[in-house]
Amino acid sequence: MKEPVRVAFLFALLLIASSAYALIWEVDYTYYSDGTFTTSVGEQDFLCDGSETEYGSTSDWRVRNRTYCEDGQPAGHACQEFVNGSWNFVTCPPGV
């Protein structure tokens, strides 16, 4: 009788932990027309409440900004280029 309760408890704990992990950051991607990162063509935002917004189009160049959901503090800023099926970090141009 104790085994099903233990399994249910572990499942609930795992579910809570995975939900909390998913909401550590708000992530905003701004897509650009080329590697100069000067002309924005679209954006995708993954918000702390689990919702998503997007407009425009995607491209092979983007800036990723992360913000901690708990306190709104910046958690990272990076430029990326899509090459051979994956996003690679690249050096951001000055001012980006």
Domain assignment present for residue 18? The answer is: no
**Residue 84 clears pLDDT 90, i.e. is over it:** yes
Which of 40, 21, 27, 30 lies closest to 79, judged by CA? 30
pTM: 0.75
In contact, 27 and 46? CB cutoff 8 Å: yes
Domain assignment present for residue 90? The answer is: yes
Q: Where in the sequence is the domain holding 38, given as residue range(s)?
A: 25-96
Domain assignment present for residue 77? The answer is: yes
Domain assignment present for residue 49? The answer is: yes
Domain assignment present for residue 91? The answer is: yes
Domain assignment present for residue 8? The answer is: no
How high is the pLDDT of residue 91?
Answer: 97
Domain assignment present for residue 75? The answer is: yes
Q: pLDDT digit string (tens) for 21-46?
A: 457 999 999 999 999 999 999 999 99
Domain assignment present for residue 86? The answer is: yes
